[in-house]
C-alpha cells in the first residue's frame, strides 16, 4: 500500500513577523545666541539741536553692557560712561551729565563706554553729536598786562574755537591750546605758526602753550600728521 501526502505551500507572509515601527525620538533643539555687542546712545540733546541756555544736560543710554560704579574690578561687558562737552570731561555710572557755563556757539558732545579702569572697549564704543548754544554766559577774560595778549583756544579736526583772536602789533601773544581728543583722528594733530611746531598725540598733556610777538596778521594752521592734510586755520587779527 502506498500512501501519498501532499503539503500545502505556506505563503511567505505567514512566516514574516510584522515589526511595529519604532516611535520617533524627540530631539531638543538648542539655540545658542551670539553675544550682542555693547551699544551706546546719546538720548538728548539731538544732533544739530539748539539749546537756549548756559547749561547743557546730556542724557546717555547703554545696551548689552552692565553699568557699574567707577573703580569696580574690571570685568568684560561692564563699566561706566565718559562724556565730553568740547574738552570738558565728566564720568560715572549715571546716565545724566550736566555742563554749566557753556558759551554761545557750536559745541561737540562725545560719549564713550569704558571699562571700570577707564580704558576703552575693543572695539571702541563712542557716539558724537554737534549742538548749537545760545547762552548769556560770558567767560571772565584774563587781566591783560600791557603788551601781553593771552588766549585759550580749543582745537579738533574741524577747526579752532574760537576761529579768530585779536592782538596789537608788538604784543606778546600767548596761546594755550586745548585739544578735543574724541574729535581728532587717531594720529593726533600738528599745529604750525610763528613758534615751534606742536606735534600733539591723543591723550597727551594739555594745554600746550606757545607764544610769539605780533608783527602782522598771523595765521596758525592745524594738520593731520600722517597725511599732511590741512584741517583748520586760526587767524590772529591786528587789533586797531
- Higher per-residue confidence, 157 vs 27: 157
Q: How far apart are CA 90 and CA 95, in angstroms?
A: 11
Q: Mean pLDDT over residues 83-109, rounded?
A: 93
Mean pLDDT over each residue of the chain, to the nearest integer: 87
Q: Mean pLDDT over residues 67-91, rounded?
A: 93
Cα dihedral 129, 97, 189, 201 sign: negative
pLDDT value at position 172?
95
| pLDDT at 149 > cutoff 60 | yes
| pLDDT at 134 > cutoff 60 | yes
pLDDT value at position 52?
94
User: Domains in the chain and their CATH numbers?
Assistant: 39-133 (2.60.40.10), 148-238 (2.60.40.420)
Q: How far apart are CA 120 and CA 111, in angstroms?
A: 11
pLDDT value at position 34?
72
| pLDDT at 228 > cutoff 80 | yes
Tell me the sheet residues that pair with 58: 97
pLDDT value at position 182?
77
Q: What are the phi and psi torsion angles at 165 (to 5°)?
A: -140, 170
CB-based contacts of 104, cutoff 8 Å, min separation 6: 133, 134, 135, 137
Q: Mean pLDDT over residues 60-81, rounded?
A: 94
CB-based contacts of 142, cutoff 8 Å, min separation 6: 150
Amino acid at each position: 500500500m502506498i500512501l501519498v501526502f501532499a503539503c500545502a505551500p505556506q505563503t511567505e507572509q505567514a512566516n514574516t513577523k510584522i515589526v511595529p515601527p519604532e516611535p520617533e525620538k524627540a530631539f531638543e533643539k538648542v539655540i545658542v545666541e551670539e553675544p550682542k555687542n555693547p551699544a551706546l546712545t546719546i538720548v538728548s540733546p539731538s544732533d544739530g539741536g539748539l539749546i537756549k541756555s548756559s547749561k547743557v544736560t546730556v542724557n546717555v543710554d547703554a545696551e548689552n553692557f552692565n553699568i557699574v560704579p567707577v573703580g569696580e574690578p574690571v570685568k568684560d561687558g561692564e563699566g561706566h560712561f565718559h562724556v565730553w562737552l568740547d574738552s570738558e570731561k565728566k564720568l560715572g555710572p549715571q546716565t545724566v551729565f550736566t555742563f554749566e557755563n557753556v558759551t554761545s556757539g557750536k559745541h561737540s558732545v562725545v560719549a564713550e563706554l569704558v571699562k571700570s579702569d577707564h580704558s576703552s572697549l575693543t572695539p571702541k564704543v563712542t557716539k558724537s553729536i554737534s549742538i548749537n548754544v545760545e547762552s548769556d554766559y560770558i567767560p571772565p577774560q584774563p587781566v591783560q598786562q600791557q603788551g601781553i595778549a593771552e588766549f585759550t583756544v580749543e582745537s579738533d579736526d574741524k577747526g579752532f574755537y574760537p576761529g579768530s583772536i585779536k592782538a596789537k602789533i608788538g604784543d606778546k601773544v600767548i596761546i594755550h591750546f586745548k585739544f578735543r581728543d574724541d574729535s581728532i583722528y587717531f594720529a593726533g594733530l600738528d599745529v604750525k605758526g610763528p613758534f615751534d611746531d606742536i606735534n600733539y598725540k591723543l591723550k597727551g598733556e594739555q594745554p600746550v602753550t606757545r607764544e610769539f610777538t605780533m608783527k602782522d596778521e598771523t595765521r596758525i594752521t592745524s594738520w593731520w600728521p600722517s597725511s599732511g592734510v590741512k584741517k583748520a586755520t586760526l587767524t590772529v587779527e591786528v587789533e586797531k
